[in-house]
Every structure is written in structure tokens, then in C-alpha cells.
Chains A and B, each alone.
Chain A
Amino acid sequence: MTCFCTSQAALWRQHQTLSNVTRIIWFDLKHELNPPVWIIMEWLLFGLQLAVYGSLISRLVTATEMPNYFQFYAVGFVVMMTFDIGSHTGRHFVEHAHEGRLPYLLSLPIPRRTLFLAITLQGGVELALLLSVPLFVTLIIIGNLTAISAVAALATLFWLGFGVAGLMLALSFIAFRSADIYAAITAAVSALIIRFSTVLYPLIFLPPQYAGAALLSPLTYGADLVRLFLGFDPSLLLDPIFAVAILTALAVSTLGLGTFLLQRLVEGVKSG
């Protein structure tokens, strides 16, 4: 009897946790989807970029190692979008902490784990919504793909997105000193990470000094891994095991460090 009651209580708690996670995610998301202007604008931007810049630049790139630069560019642009969305999610979370919304959420009668799970999943859902159409279009452009390769590419993009969001959280301590400096630093870091990466050009094409810098960019590993899953020539790409290891280390360390630092800053433990 006791055992039955305990399991019933556990089920009820799980139900409550799930309900609260859904509520927190939906509370914000419904405003982004009603109407989904921001999401549709991102999709249109992707289409425009591919139709104009992508098609023109791919006519200029005629290297023998790169028979179809348009496909390479399309994947690169999806990776850049992933970076932008992850970065936006991380910065958005820091802004909430900074402007007082996070203290409200922290005061609600839900466990911290549930709250942080909801916030993380909200970022994931936004990422999935924003990437759904661009990724679908890219998969059509590349063609001849299996479901497994598409899912693996999507998983890589998610992992990269969480890593980037974590990076922005890890830099959040700056925001508590100055929001302007935080905005400037994250913008500079973003610009450097994108440009010194293999998002738009393969590593073997890069001069040694650029290649060295590109190896420091998380986007290099994300982009190369996605391309590997989507059937690009492996000789143009980094070792996939190395890329998986780097991306995993990035996501785990930055998300862990970011959450830890932010929680300490928000809860005021840092100085304790």
C-alpha cells in the first residue's frame, strides 16, 4: 500500500514537473508564434541569402576539390543561423537575469532543476522552429540523404546551439558589471568565431595562420561535423571523432560553467 502511494506520488510529481515545464515554455513561445513574424523573417532571410548571395558566389568558386560550393554554402549558412540563435538565446537569458524577470521565476514554487530544464528546452524549441525550414531546404538542395544522416546533422546543430548559448551564459558575469560592455564583447566574440571558422571555406583552403585560428572556433567543428553527416567529401573536413569530442566538451563545459556562474551571480553567492 505504502509502495503504491509512493509511486502514485512520484507519478504526480512527474506530471506536475512536466506541466510546469510546458507552461513556462509556452508562456513565452505563444507570443513568438502569434504571429510568427520573427521566425518567418529568419526563413525569408535564409531564402534570400541563398537565392542571391549563395547562387552568385557559388558561380565564382570553381575549385576542383569543391564541385558544388552552393551546397557547402547552404550548410554553412544554416550553421551560422544556429550560432546566431544559440547566441541570442544565451544573451536573452542573461538579459532576463539582469532586468529582474529571472528573480520572479526563481521565486515560483518549482524546483530549480525544473526551471532550468524549462528554460533550456525553450531555447531548444526556438532553435528547432527557426531551423526547421532552412534545414529542410538545405536537405533538399543536397538530396540523396538518409533519415539517419539528417537526424545526426540536426543533433549536431542542437549540440552546437547549446554550446554557443552556454558560451554567452559563461560571459554573463560581464553583463552584471555593464550590459553595454557585455553586448560589445559578445558581438566581437561572435564576429571572430564566425569569420575564423570553416563555415564558409574548408580548412584545407585556408592559409596556415587562418587555419590555426579556425581550429579554435567551435563553429569549425560544428560545420565540419554537419557536413560529414550530410555526405560531403571527408577529405575536406576535420576528423569527426575529434569534432564530436570538441563539441561535446564545449556544450558541457560552457553550459555547466554558464549555469553555475549565472546562478551564483543571480543568487548572490559569488561574494559569499
Chain B
Amino acid sequence: MPAVETKDLVKKYGKTTALEGLDFSVNEKEIMVLLGPNGSGKTTLLLILATVLKPTSGLAKVMNLDVVTQPTKVRQILGISFQEARGFWRHKPPEILRFHATICGVPKIKREPLIEEVLKDIELWDARNKLFMHLSGGQAKRLEVAKILIQRPPFAIFDEPSSQVDLRGKRVIWEHIQKLRDEGSTILVATNEVREAEYLADRVTVLDQGKNIVSDNVRSLKDKIAGGDIVELQVEASDTDLLEKLQKIDGTVKVATTGENQYRAHVSMAESWVPKMTDLCYKKNLRVVSVRVTEPSLDDVFLHFTGRALEATPNIE
């Protein structure tokens, strides 16, 4: 049974449809990444699962609890790190974390050591005496993530967890999210950052215009792009029919010469194509000078399934 599932979930804001009959699931103890541009319905889905928004129609369940009929029970097993960290302007990070920990039932004896540990882990310790309103965007975002690291809920939601955070900070946040998964939490991350998705995802759901376009693990998604892998090949000597023979290898989508004794092949599943290619060259007694394989990014995956790039889409979220 999935830890989270939605069936035919619809959410409308006036005339705008944010979610359009969404079917979606997250398995227990996995990191599911929702990948989609602004306005694809990611945040709306997260807010419905967190019981902050109510769906217009359809079903949404978290750990078999209905978000509409059992919202308080759902909130007792989840934590959400919001996209925008805002609100408690005059409070300091430890105060905000203490309030969150107390309301979420973290035992009193564990609270203070845990707050200190997480503030240090997430590199906010030096900013602990600053008011929230004086934190930088990246620090405020880290604080938002820290709430969940202190709460350690069975189901954790992160909405763009590392936006506005520097490269080093991103890595720290990602490692903590993975650690949370390793300790048994089910995790849902929404992002439009390809690198974040590639780093974190056990599985990815591509969301576009409120619909689940495809869900799978990263490897399978990339493999689904016919000709998505690019193999750049250089051989030692010229061969008149090598181009033709390369085109006949299973998985080849197209091959072209790019220079003297140099070829570029668009193939499906380079890992099985390359051995066939080297075998062919061996039989033709051609020495392979270099092979360079480039696999598609999740941006290419998105482009493949939606016909549009992840960026430059209208924002209705």
C-alpha cells in the first residue's frame, strides 16, 4: 500500500484549474520528487496533502488517512517546509524551532539539545541570535527546513527546499533530507531544479498543468527517451561503411559524422549500445580512440514528455 496516494484529485481557483484529476502515489520510505515548472500544481498538491488547502474533488490519503475527513490525524504525522519562509518576524531561530517542536510533541528533554544540533548541522548556529526579519533569504530557508529536521515526521514535505540557498548549503540540506529518508520517513519534495531532483529522487513524478505526466525512477525515465543518450566516438582510421554499420546497431536513433573519423550517435540506453559498438569496431579491426557518453538530464525528460522546457512557462501557482 502506498504511503501517499491521490485519485482523480481536482483543485480549482476560480476559473483556473491547478490540479486536473491527479492520480499520484508515494511509496513508504522513498523520496518522491515532484518536478514541474511554476504553475504546474506542485505547491497546490503539497498544501492539499498538508491539509492547508481543501481539494475541489477527488481523494487524497496520507498513510491511509483521508486529508478531508481526518485532517487533524494527518497533521499529526506530517511536517511541511514551505516554499516561502515567512511570518514570525520578531522571533529568533531557536524560539521558532522551540515553538514548532513543542506543538509537534517533541519531548521536552530532547528539545534543547536537538535544536542546538540541528542549528549547527544546518549551519544556522551563528545566526541564532538574529531576529527572523534580519535573516538572509537562504538562512530563512534553512530555518524552514530545520523545523522538519527537528520534528522528524513519518511523512515530510519539502517545497523547493534549497531555493535561495548557496551551493554548499544545498548539499547540506539534500544530505539531511536523504538521512531523514534513511531513518524511515516518507518524503515528498517539489522542485523545478533539475540538479536537486537528480540528487534526491528515488522516483520522480513529472507534473505539468495539474496532471501527472509520468512517474518512475530517474534511470527509467531517462531510458524512456528514445535517442536520449549521446555517444561521441572517435576511431583511429577511416572506414567507409562504419557509419552505415553503426546505424544498424539496436538502439540507434541517428548517427552523423562530426569530423575526421569522428561520429555522434543518438541512442537509447548507451550502456547496452556501447559494447555492441566496440564489438563492431573490433571485428572491423578499428581501434577506438575515445568514447564519450552523455545521458539526458531531467530537463530533457521533461521536454520529452511535455514538449516544453522546464523554464519559461506561465506562473499560475
Contact = CB atoms under 8 A, between A and B. Distances in A.
A271 B12 CA distance: 6
B82 interface: yes
A123 B116 CA distance: 33
B153 to A, nearest CB: 9
Most B CB within 10 A of own CB, among A27, A106, A268, A271: A268
**Chain B interface size, under 10 / 10 to 19 / 20 to 34 / 35 or more:** 20 to 34
Contacts of B105: 109
Interface string B49-83: 01111111100000000000001100110111010
B42 to A, nearest CB: 15
6 contacts: A20-B103, A100-B86, A109-B75, A112-B71, A112-B72, A272-B56
Interface string B20-59: 0000000000000000000000000001001111111100
A12 to B, nearest CB: 12
B52 A109 contact: no
Given A100-B84, A101-B87, 20 more contacts: A23-B102, A24-B103, A27-B88, A27-B91, A27-B95, A100-B87, A101-B86, A101-B88, A103-B82, A104-B82, A106-B51, A107-B82, A109-B76, A110-B72, A267-B52, A268-B54, A269-B54, A272-B12, A272-B54, A272-B57
A269 B56 CA distance: 7
A111 interface: yes
B11 interface: yes
Contacts of B79: 107
Nearest to B153: A109
B107 interface: no
B195 interface: no
Given A31-B91, A109-B72, A103 B13 contact: no
Contact of B103 (A31, A100, A110): A110
Contacts of A267: 52-54
B14 interface: yes
